[in-house]
Amino acid sequence: MIRVVILGQGMVACHLMVGVERIRRGEIGKYGIPLAKFKLPYDVDDIVFIASYDVDPAKVGKTVYEVCKSLVSDTLPVPETLKSIIVREGIHQGSLHGLVENPLGLERKYGLWEAVERIVDEWKKLRPDVFVNIITTEPAKPFYTIEKLREAIKNGSRDVSASHVYAYAAALYAMDVGKGIAFINAIPSPLANDPAVVELFEETNSIVLGDDGATGATPLTADLLEHMAERNRGVEFVVQFNIGGNTDFLSLTIPERNKMKEYTKSSIVEDILGYNPPTYIKPTGYLEPLGDKKYVAMHLEYITFNELRDSLFISARINDSPALAGLLVDLIRLGKIAVEKGYKGTIYEINAFYMKKPGPINAKSVAKIVAYYKLIDWLKRNNVIIQ
Amino acid sequence: MIRVVILGQGMVACHLMVGVERIRRGEIGKYGIPLAKFKLPYDVDDIVFIASYDVDPAKVGKTVYEVCKSLVSDTLPVPETLKSIIVREGIHQGSLHGLVENPLGLERKYGLWEAVERIVDEWKKLRPDVFVNIITTEPAKPFYTIEKLREAIKNGSRDVSASHVYAYAAALYAMDVGKGIAFINAIPSPLANDPAVVELFEETNSIVLGDDGATGATPLTADLLEHMAERNRGVEFVVQFNIGGNTDFLSLTIPERNKMKEYTKSSIVEDILGYNPPTYIKPTGYLEPLGDKKYVAMHLEYITFNELRDSLFISARINDSPALAGLLVDLIRLGKIAVEKGYKGTIYEINAFYMKKPGPINAKSVAKIVAYYKLIDWLKRNNVIIQ
Amino acid sequence: MIRVVILGQGMVACHLMVGVERIRRGEIGKYGIPLAKFKLPYDVDDIVFIASYDVDPAKVGKTVYEVCKSLVSDTLPVPETLKSIIVREGIHQGSLHGLVENPLGLERKYGLWEAVERIVDEWKKLRPDVFVNIITTEPAKPFYTIEKLREAIKNGSRDVSASHVYAYAAALYAMDVGKGIAFINAIPSPLANDPAVVELFEETNSIVLGDDGATGATPLTADLLEHMAERNRGVEFVVQFNIGGNTDFLSLTIPERNKMKEYTKSSIVEDILGYNPPTYIKPTGYLEPLGDKKYVAMHLEYITFNELRDSLFISARINDSPALAGLLVDLIRLGKIAVEKGYKGTIYEINAFYMKKPGPINAKSVAKIVAYYKLIDWLKRNNVIIQ
Amino acid sequence: MIRVVILGQGMVACHLMVGVERIRRGEIGKYGIPLAKFKLPYDVDDIVFIASYDVDPAKVGKTVYEVCKSLVSDTLPVPETLKSIIVREGIHQGSLHGLVENPLGLERKYGLWEAVERIVDEWKKLRPDVFVNIITTEPAKPFYTIEKLREAIKNGSRDVSASHVYAYAAALYAMDVGKGIAFINAIPSPLANDPAVVELFEETNSIVLGDDGATGATPLTADLLEHMAERNRGVEFVVQFNIGGNTDFLSLTIPERNKMKEYTKSSIVEDILGYNPPTYIKPTGYLEPLGDKKYVAMHLEYITFNELRDSLFISARINDSPALAGLLVDLIRLGKIAVEKGYKGTIYEINAFYMKKPGPINAKSVAKIVAYYKLIDWLKRNNVIIQ
């Protein structure tokens, strides 16, 4: 059994919790879970959600069932078993400015340091193994040293992202109970890319996996560019538009959040091609009726043999949240397994496939297809899968 | 220096010969040549074309310069150096029925066996190292044993494809001069997939690479399917239309030729996904003004986590002939290198990346991205590239 | 009230009958019915289906409810009121060869002439006002004179299409009861384009509207070409692929049926542009999982000012049957109204908007947007709509 | 002969001047000129460019030949006859802020009022019939009364757009010479939509045609929406991305300019559909290698009969400047003809087809296909074309 705490009860959390429950009941297949075809030490059934945190006053105090009913019931049946989990009040560090009116937040009532202590106390009772960070995209920056991170939290600074606070709390909890944990960071905030966080997790025999779950159009773009690179085609430019109607896209209409995404999206191009053609790759807008099924439009041109030009146009409608939820089913299991196998800090081989900005800091992006085979190798070497 | 004989002076041959010459002069970059970024024992400059064969009365007796002027001068400058090669009369075995009126063909004048002897005599004077088979797509089937193939040629049977005849002649030539050669088969006729041909080449210390050069939409489809398979997405169907205005598409409007293509195109889907969703993948039609730049339209849908459905649409305009010509620049060099390193028969690691239907027979199709890294491994193991 | 007989209980019939019933109940809006925004003498509620004919042994004798349950219940709720209509045995004239095994058909039991008489007798009891011909696409050709048509039916010739037989029977019925009827031909068989049929309907104070309901990609292509023509852009070529998974696409895999479609689809290009660029416009294939929601891929290029070239690519997923059903809701009403207003023969102004091959014979195709405004004018001139 | 003054020597001006010259020489066809297929009182040959104004220090004082060489010689041959026109210094009113460093501008040297007087004096010598305003998109707003406009110019206010200044000068010139002129406003600044300007032109027997030439994706979107509206389909949303690499797109990266475009683009949707579905229609970005051939991606979904949903995706590469230049060839001729026929103020029937935001103020946008037939009617009623 893997005991999981959810941080951020949004659409991804609902897809994850609903999907795992439906798989447990045999209602649906294991589509969208990359390693579903392999036998792992933990199966999907072994995942148990024990708590969920949020700061939206419309969610805190409600059951996960109620929250998911309002978020995903247009596309999914929500199982009644989710009535047993009540959304708890977490922290936000101002990250919902402009998105949620009057957010709650333990740090408001108790100050940041006491808020952390209260959360750690809750976890000591709940005994989680894995934390999944899927709060809304927020402005965030790395701290580089444990000291600076600790000091900022002690001082109650507003410059510490909510993700950093949660990760710090998880490390404290791990230290207190003397047992390593896994922290999965599926949003762009730099955790696996912050040496401060990675070092902190090493010290507590824990693992942080991140950053920014590799879903949507970016992994597809990465694999297309690899396809071009292998044939030595000269990519002249890449345009990739993304528009959706979920909270994530709404939050990206606020400029500083958009920049968080742009950063991770453009870095892949040069890493894969070896040069840097002009690109326009970014979340472009918000349009409510698209819902969670975003529209992606892509166009690129490249130089082929004899310097002639080819043109490629892609149009897609892609469900955003379930794609990430499917990856999380693997990451939760791999996080737990890795801790048990004695790994600590972060693990590039896992991050490289599942993350847009794989930690540790300065690690190279590779095409996901390449990363996949390196992941499979790593899993075999560590006897996680037998084939 | 690598001495090359061209079989089939069509658009691909012109792109290959013009492109190599322009690279030699430094007029253009090495785009579209997959291994151009590595240092190989032979560079592009080392390729020398010494002869070319065709059966079209409008081509035989003309210079390669004249033929290429009429075929590709709308998109390429044709170098005057190509005036030094005169197109020779080859054989066709009826393969141009419905495409070229009154084709020539040595087998008509001399019977098939004497035609083969005459060609082998020419080659003994020309001393080629590598043969490149890029005749028009033709109906063809494997012979399985050397005896059956030899007998059919001796009897002058019309059931032997022109590709088989040329391959057989190349093996005879290799035996006569006591030196292995490389035969590159870039069309669908089964040579590397015919045990008869592979065995014949083993006996003569030669190499056959094939079949059906992996250009156009099929490798892209393969890599897209691999992308889906790695995420355990359930592909529901794949549609891929292709329409172009070159001779290859014209020839495919004749039903039995179209079947040759359909065979190699559909086999990849199951090999990569592990199951066989309904597909419609085939050359769809001929439309003259599209010229060599074909239009490809693709659509697929897949099941993601929580059994929701995503949709993908691709539209592309792709230059057909230069894409294949770029691969041939590698294949010519790899063929020569492999013979020198003592390889014989066929080499799966090379075929898997460069061919749609990689020999030997019953070899599995894999995504090209996977095949690429296996190729690079093979090249390193054999000290062909150092990195 | 308009009493309607359905000929061919396929997907279009089910969409029509289910949709009208759901509108009657106020369950859905009047989307897809072009004239829904105008007040006509007959509203959608006035349409009453009184009988349905088919020859598929899996349908005849079943209720329309049962048939529609098996055909459209994946996308639509089928109202129980459709249990009151039982599918009757019609005629097929061999038109289901290769599609339905052992089709029934009154002409088999009674010979063609007696079959017609029996059907007419049934209609005399049922008293229909409007007939809707939506049988499967069949090979068919015009007869030009009433005599030839009558003789062929009297002789029980297999060269008379089922559509011609039904239209002839409808005219006989109209004559017998001394009251004009409307016959809507939504399939490619030439009825409104056959002077024999038009004359026959004139003689019986009746109206035939046809041929081939203008749904799917063709009207869109027509409007796009008109867009180009109005700007004097030089269209260089048009490619339009269509693939679907319903019976209509399955039937088109049989070559002679495909030709019926190709004919009506290509004729529009020259009529609109005034010249005839190379085109490839045809139903391309059948792929079961696409169902009734076909995939359309379109590509065209045109010359703009200063002789530069622009490129356009369209990808679409379009529900085939409901689009036609929506048009039929108008056509049923317009047919009845036109007969009441004393029109007879056929009416170009109606056909031009609703049909791909508008009758009478040799009438010009115009862009649908142009035809629409001519239709509105006609409706106003005839006081059908007041605005 | 029609004597034309160009305001803004950018890419559109170059395409217009080069194209007219090439047509005069018989080098190219009259593609992209909507009325080319009709016989008008003035032919393309009758257009003579007599002067050109700009404020870019890299252009002023150069010949039009030199400027066009640097702007369009990658796609067009520039005729040497364009050496005879020297680019004169105009005014800019700060409109190039952020785009051109240290722009010139007569208003800087002389103050705005004197600058206007100097320009009017030049025109009195040049004797133009038609002015074409194709300066870079600028922030601008209407003045509503002649008095406010005159006062603002007299006071040298920076709130008067360069377009307003040029239009005012043209009216002064018309008054002084006692002969009506035509002013074509092909950019978004409200002139034909400003009652002040329209009234001013009425008083001087002149005509202003505008605003914002209807090229690119917007007219296509308008016609697609009309196609949907005529079938009573319920459009759920419209997404339209535009990205290009010319100065116009560069200028739109400056937020206040982008708003000028968004305004005219979104207004068409409600005018045509009669309701206002959520839309995201705007110039999205700038990417240099796309050049003048912009990439347009469009996606819309609509409700069809039985409330099922259809999806449409469009990808296009469209040459921006020549499309507008082609329209200007008509507008120059129509402007001259209309003045001669005694028209004054503005003419909705012309604006409705050629402009995105047709004046006068509060005039409705209609689908361009509808506008086209109204234009043709108007031309016939006024004996401009005979058919």
Cα distances from B95 to residues B67, B119, C21, C121, in angstroms, run 20, 18, 60, 61
- The proportion of chain C whose per-residue pLDDT surpasses 70, expressed as a percent, equals 96
Cα distances from D204 to residues C82, D176, D331, in angstroms, run 71, 9, 19
The pLDDT tens digits of the residues spanning B197-210 come to: 999 999 999 999 99
Cα distances from D125 to residues C32, C381, D184, in angstroms, run 61, 56, 21
The pLDDT tens digits of the residues spanning B75-107 come to: 899 999 999 999 999 999 987 777 788 889 999
Q: Is the pLDDT of residue A303 over 60?
A: yes
DSSP state of C34: G
Rounded mean pLDDT, C127-141: 95
Rounded mean pLDDT, A333-350: 97
Q: Is the pLDDT of residue B151 over 70?
A: yes
Contact list in D for residue B311 (CB cut-off 8 A) is 311
Which pLDDT value is given to residue B257?
57
Chain C partners (3+ C-beta pairs within 8 A):
A, B, D
Report the run of H or E that residue B282 belongs to, with start and end.
strand B279-286
Crossing angle between the packed helical segments D217-230 and C368-381, to the nearest 10 degrees = 40
Compute the half-sphere exposure of residue D23: CA atoms within 13 Å on the CB side of its CA: 24
* C287:B311 CB<8 A: no
**C-D interface: how many C-beta pairs under 8 angstroms?**
177
Q: By mean pLDDT, which of A274-288, B133-147, B152-166, D335-349 is the weakest?
A: A274-288
Which pLDDT value is given to residue D359?
95
- Report the residue from A309, A314, A369 with minimal CB separation from B314: A314
Q: Is the pLDDT of residue D91 over 80?
A: yes
* B315:D315 CB<8 A: yes
Contact between D328 and D186 (Cβ < 8 Å): yes
Nearest to A108 by CA among A170, A163, A156: A156
Contact list in D for residue C234 (CB cut-off 8 A) is 29, 31
Contact between B304 and A322 (Cβ < 8 Å): yes
Question: Which 3 state secondary structure label does DSSP give C81?
Answer: helix
Burial A169-186 (b: 16+ CB within 10 A, else e): bbbbbbbeeeebbbbbbb
Nearest to A11 by CA among A328, A265, A263: A328
* C35 near D CB under 8 A: yes
Which pLDDT value is given to residue B258?
57
D387 exposed, middle or buried (CB, 10 Å; 0-12, 13-18, 19+)?
exposed
Q: Is the pLDDT of residue C261 over 60?
A: no
Angle at C304 between CA C299 and CA C309, to 5 degrees: 50
* A32:B372 CB<8 A: no
* A231 near B CB under 8 A: yes
Q: Which of residues 305-344 of D touch B (CB under 8 A)?
A: 311, 313, 315
Residue in B with minimal Cα distance to D312: B313
pLDDT confidence bin for B262, thresholds 50/70/90: low
* Whole-number CA gyration radius for chain D: 20
Rounded to whole angstroms, the Cα distance separating D110 from D108 reads: 6
Q: Is the pLDDT of residue A263 over 60?
A: no
Report the run of H or E that residue B209 belongs to, with start and end.
strand B207-209
Q: Is the pLDDT of residue C368 over 90?
A: no
Rounded to whole angstroms, the Cα distance separating B13 from B324 reads: 9
Tokens of D307: 């409330």
Rounded to whole angstroms, the Cα distance separating C77 from C86 reads: 19
Q: Is the dihedral of CA A316, A318, A320, A326 positive or negative?
A: negative
Mean pLDDT of chain B, nearest integer: 93
Rounded to whole angstroms, the Cα distance separating B256 from B201 reads: 28
Q: Is the pLDDT of residue C265 over 70?
A: no
The pLDDT tens digits of the residues spanning C266-313 come to: 667 888 898 999 999 988 889 999 999 999 999 999 999 999 999 999
Nearest to C211 by CA among C191, C228, C226: C191
Rounded to whole angstroms, the Cα distance separating D206 from D336 reads: 10
Q: Who contacts B302 (Cβ-Cβ below 8 Å, separation ≥6)?
A: B228, B233, B234, B235, B236, B309, B310, B312
Rounded mean pLDDT, C57-79: 95
pLDDT confidence bin for D351, thresholds 50/70/90: very high
Which pLDDT value is given to residue D264?
53
Tokens of D352: 């409705």
- The proportion of chain A whose per-residue pLDDT surpasses 90, expressed as a percent, equals 81
B61 phi and psi angles, rounded to 5 deg:
95, -20
Rounded mean pLDDT, D273-280: 92
**A-B interface: how many C-beta pairs under 8 angstroms?**
176
| Secondary structure of A297-356 in HEC code, one letter for each residue | EEEEEEECHHHCEEEEEEEEEEEHHHHHHHHHHHHHHHHHHHHHCCCCECCHHHHHHHEC
A293 phi and psi angles, rounded to 5 deg:
-100, 90
- Report the residue from B287, B290, B315 with minimal CB separation from C313: B315
Rounded to whole angstroms, the Cα distance separating A249 from D17 reads: 45
- Report the residue from D236, D239, D295 with minimal CB separation from A239: D295
Report the run of H or E that residue D353 belongs to, with start and end.
helix D348-354
Q: Is the pLDDT of residue D261 over 60?
A: no
Q: Which of residues 42-81 of D touch C (CB under 8 A)?
A: 75-76
Contact between B315 and B169 (Cβ < 8 Å): no
Q: How far is CA D29 from the centre of its chain?
A: 23
Contact list in C for residue A300 (CB cut-off 8 A) is none
* A280:D288 CB<8 A: no
The pLDDT tens digits of the residues spanning C17-41 come to: 999 999 999 999 999 999 999 999 9
Which pLDDT value is given to residue B387?
60
* B304:A323 CB<8 A: yes
* C304 near D CB under 8 A: yes
Rounded to whole angstroms, the Cα distance separating C159 from C148 reads: 11
Which pLDDT value is given to residue C209?
98
Tokens of D163: 């377009």
Report the run of H or E that residue B327 belongs to, with start and end.
helix B320-340
* D275 near B CB under 8 A: no
Report the run of H or E that residue A282 belongs to, with start and end.
strand A279-286
Rounded to whole angstroms, the Cα distance separating D212 from C343 reads: 47
Which pLDDT value is given to residue D387?
61
Residue in D with minimal Cα distance to A289: D237
Alpha-carbon distance B356 to nearest alpha carbon in chain A (angstroms): 15
The pLDDT tens digits of the residues spanning B216-260 come to: 788 888 889 989 999 999 999 999 999 999 888 887 776 655 555
- Please report the beta strands in chain D, taking only residues with DSSP state E, as ranges in sequence order: 2-7, 47-54, 87-89, 130-133, 182-185, 207-209, 234-244, 279-286, 293-303, 309-319
Bond into C103 cis (ω within 30): no
Rounded mean pLDDT, B52-57: 96
Rounded mean pLDDT, A280-307: 94
Contact list in B for residue C288 (CB cut-off 8 A) is 278
* C275 near D CB under 8 A: no
Which pLDDT value is given to residue A258?
57
Q: Is the pLDDT of residue A117 over 60?
A: yes
Cα distances from D166 to residues B112, D33, D59, D95, D162, in angstroms, run 82, 26, 19, 13, 6
Contact between B175 and B169 (Cβ < 8 Å): no
* A315:D295 CB<8 A: no
Of the two residues C248 and C181, the one the predictor is more confident about is C181
* A280 near C CB under 8 A: no
Residue in C with minimal Cα distance to D328: C305
Other Cβ atoms closer than 10 A to B110: 14
Rounded to whole angstroms, the Cα distance separating D328 from D128 reads: 16
Contact list in B for residue D311 (CB cut-off 8 A) is 311
| Region for residue B94 given its phi and psi (left: phi exceeds 0; alpha: psi -120 to 50; beta: otherwise) | left
* C287:B299 CB<8 A: no
pLDDT confidence bin for A365, thresholds 50/70/90: confident
pLDDT confidence bin for C355, thresholds 50/70/90: very high
Which pLDDT value is given to residue C256?
58
Q: By mean pLDDT, which of A126-135, A243-252, C51-60, C264-273 is the weakest?
A: C264-273
pLDDT confidence bin for D369, thresholds 50/70/90: confident
Rounded mean pLDDT, D325-331: 98
Which pLDDT value is given to residue C102?
85
Q: Please report the ipTM that was assigned to this predicted complex.
A: 0.92
Rounded to whole angstroms, the Cα distance separating A199 from A146 reads: 7
Residue in D with minimal Cα distance to C375: D230
DSSP string, D46-75: GEEEEEEEE--TTTTTSBHHHHHHHHHTTT
DSSP string, C156-192: T-TTS-HHHHHHHHHHHHHHHHT---EEEE-SSS-ST
Contact between A191 and A197 (Cβ < 8 Å): yes
Q: How far is CA C36 from the centre of its chain?
A: 19
Mutation for B interface: C249, C290, C303, most B CBs within 10 A: C290
Tokens of D27: 């080098």
Rounded mean pLDDT, C233-250: 92
Rounded to whole angstroms, the Cα distance separating C277 from C303 reads: 12
Which pLDDT value is given to residue B51?
98
pLDDT confidence bin for A257, thresholds 50/70/90: low
Q: Is the pLDDT of residue B63 over 80?
A: yes
Question: Which 3 state secondary structure label does DSSP give A160?
Answer: coil
DSSP state of B345: B
Please, which residues bridge with residue A286 across strands? A244
**A-D interface: how many C-beta pairs under 8 angstroms?**
63
Q: Is the pLDDT of residue C343 over 80?
A: yes
Mutation for B interface: C243, C275, C294, most B CBs within 10 A: C243
Q: Who contacts B14 (Cβ-Cβ below 8 Å, separation ≥6)?
A: B64, B67, B68, B71, B72, B76, B78, B321
Nearest to B62 by CA among B119, B14, B115: B14
Q: Is the pLDDT of residue D262 over 60?
A: no
Tokens of B220: 């892209």
Residue in C with minimal Cα distance to D298: C314
C215 exposed, middle or buried (CB, 10 Å; 0-12, 13-18, 19+)?
buried
Q: How far is CA C18 from the centre of its chain?
A: 17
Q: Is the pLDDT of residue A264 over 60?
A: no
Which pLDDT value is given to residue C218?
82
- Report the residue from A32, A232, A303 with minimal CB separation from B34: A232
Which pLDDT value is given to residue D164?
98
The pLDDT tens digits of the residues spanning C170-215 come to: 999 999 999 999 999 999 999 999 999 999 999 999 999 999 999 8
Of the two residues B317 and B271, the one the predictor is more confident about is B317
* A31 near D CB under 8 A: no
Q: Is the pLDDT of residue D282 over 90?
A: no
Q: Is the pLDDT of residue B297 over 80?
A: yes
* A24 near B CB under 8 A: no
Using DSSP bridges, classify how beta strands A2-7 and D2-7 pair: parallel, antiparallel or unpaired. unpaired
Which pLDDT value is given to residue D216?
78
Q: Is the pLDDT of residue A142 over 80?
A: yes
Contact list in D for residue A239 (CB cut-off 8 A) is 243, 285, 287, 290, 295
Q: Who contacts C125 (Cβ-Cβ below 8 Å, separation ≥6)?
A: none
* C311:A311 CB<8 A: yes
